[in-house]
Structure 1
Amino acid sequence: MLDEHQITMPSIGLSYEMVTDSTLNAAKHAKALGAKYIMVAWIPHDSTFTIDDAKKAVADFNAAGKVLQQNGITLCYHNHGYEFVKYQDGTLFDYIVKNTNSGYVSFEMDMLWAFHGRANPAQLLREYPKRWKLMHLKDIRKGVANDLTGGTDIKNDVALGTGQIDIPKVLKAAKEAGIEHYFIEDESPDHAAQIPQTVKYLKSL
């Protein structure tokens, strides 16, 4: 279907379990679709993400990332908001970035989830400029309170430029960080109307 519609898929999203438990099979899936990146968007954890969860993820990502790299695939972890729990002089997200091997593990910035987790997306991009490869372009409805749950109603996905995030500031930082691929992601029931609005906004910047 991708070939039929002349669409390329630079990145494929797979589960944590598949990437860590069936790494070679994950690489096979990516190669079948022509993807050079495998993105993992959720680290299994209970209601609160802990340092033990982060340590396990670091070990698993380093191991899987090495195998994927040997097979021509780059592993990217996609932030989801819950990782911004305070830890030492930073957050558990900082711990993951600093303790994963930069040769094996990269990252995908999800601007909505970073913001919703009380982080600053532009600041994160500038803080770790060589670690980010991919980006989800999303905005969150005005008035929605931020938290560390890693979840919010899909109705809170809004067209870029109509929500709470300073999109131009984030995109400038993303360009400086060398983001390779940008994906518009809109899970709202109104996505069919919102995506053209998002595209028009992006073209206006």
Structure 2
Amino acid sequence: MDRREFITAMGILGAAAALPIPAFANTKKHNYKFGFQLFSVNQDMNRDPIGTLKAVVAMGYEDFEIFGFNGEQGTFYGQKAAAFKTLLDDHNVTVSSGHFEFAPLLEKSDAALMRFVDQCIEGARTLNMKYITWPWLAPEQRSIENYKALCEKLNRMGERVNAAGLGFAYHNHGFEFEDQRGQNGYDIILKETDPALVKLQMDLFWVMHSSKRSPKELVKAQPGRYVMWHIKDMDKKTRDYTELGNGSIDYPGILPDPVAAGMEFYYLEQGGNFTHSALQSAADSARYFKQNLQHLF
């Protein structure tokens, strides 16, 4: 490097150092993997897991969140966990989180719940996941009293999962934001779960659909806790799911800062209302995201 190049380089570094820290930090590329929630193609995965995985990998997806674990059999999509991990490795892709069916055990004994938690831990470790996620409550379980009981269980589950070296998270839908006697389930979860034990997976569609607070407001109130995001679009007329780019959600305008949120993984998802088919929707959303939204992460 000659003297002129050295002076120029030092000038650039000096200017960067003079920038406010957030402005400089935003220039960093975070290299998040391109994620997809396999529940979007759940019927295809159950019918043909090998062919379906090959298809979504060809769309560019690199990391997955699974659904469909059988604890008694130790299987994902009908395949033993070790065999499914081999399938992932063969395609050079990963699974970072799983949605596990905890809701049927909410009213069962702690022993039954923790037995299933231990099965989930074993399955998650086999796939080298980072997070185990509670994804759902049945309609009859969505009372204020049940939300409070749920929080106690979430804390105990989080403690057990964390002790096993994994993270634990709760995934929202829209029902948590519904008012009941001046309260709502999501506020109870935020207040009565330990942020060190129970992280949050923000479904941006459902926040925009049902919450009175924006994603940015939620992150501001609980920075660093929203470690995973679900990304899908909202039909302009029906407000149902739709492919990215077909709907009403202004993602450049509503996205929180991923660093402030604590985001580690994101997953595109579409739980239904496909224009043509689940696989075609997965491909269409992947194409739109890569062309219009991926630069925001």
TM-score normalised per structure 2: 0.60
Deviation at 1:90, TM superposition (A): 5.8
In 1, Cα distance between equivalents of 2:209 and 2:293: 21
Identity value in percent: 28
**Matching of residues 23-172 of structure 1 within 5 Å:** 23-46=117-140, 49-86=142-179, 91-119=184-212, 120-145=214-239, 152=240, 156-159=241-244, 161-172=245-256
Choose from 284, 287, 290 the match for 1:193.
284
Structure 1: unaligned runs, 5 residues or longer: 146-151
Shift of 1:88: 7.1
Question: 1:82 and 1:12, CA in 2 relative to 1: closer, same or farther beyond 3 A?
Answer: same
Which structure 2 residue ranges, 5 or more long, are not aligned?
1-86, 107-112
SS in 2 for 1:15: coil
1:105 and 1:65 map into 2 onto residues whose CA distance is 6
**1:79, distance to aligned residue in structure 2 (A):** 0.3
Distance in 2 separating the partners of 1:41 and 1:110: 10
Between 184-193 and 93-102, the greater mean CA deviation after superposition: 184-193
Measure how far apart 1:140 and its partner are. 0.8
The alignment of Structure 1 onto Structure 2 pairs a total of residues equal to: 194
Deviation at 1:14, TM superposition (A): 0.8
- Large movers: runs of 4+ above 6 Å: none
Q: What is the SS of the residue equivalent to 1:9? A: strand
SS at match of 1:103: coil
Larger Rg: 2
* Partners of 1:179 and 1:8 in 2: CA distance: 17
CA distance in 1, matches of 2:250, 2:237: 15
1:149-168 CA distance string (max 9 Å, x none): xxx5xxx3221x44222211
Deviation at 1:172, TM superposition (A): 3.5
How far, CA to CA, are the matches of 2:284 and 2:269 in structure 1?
A: 13
What letter matches 1:184 in structure 2?
A: L
Counterpart residue type for residue 79 of structure 1:
N
d(CA) in 2 for partners of 1:204 and 1:60? 38
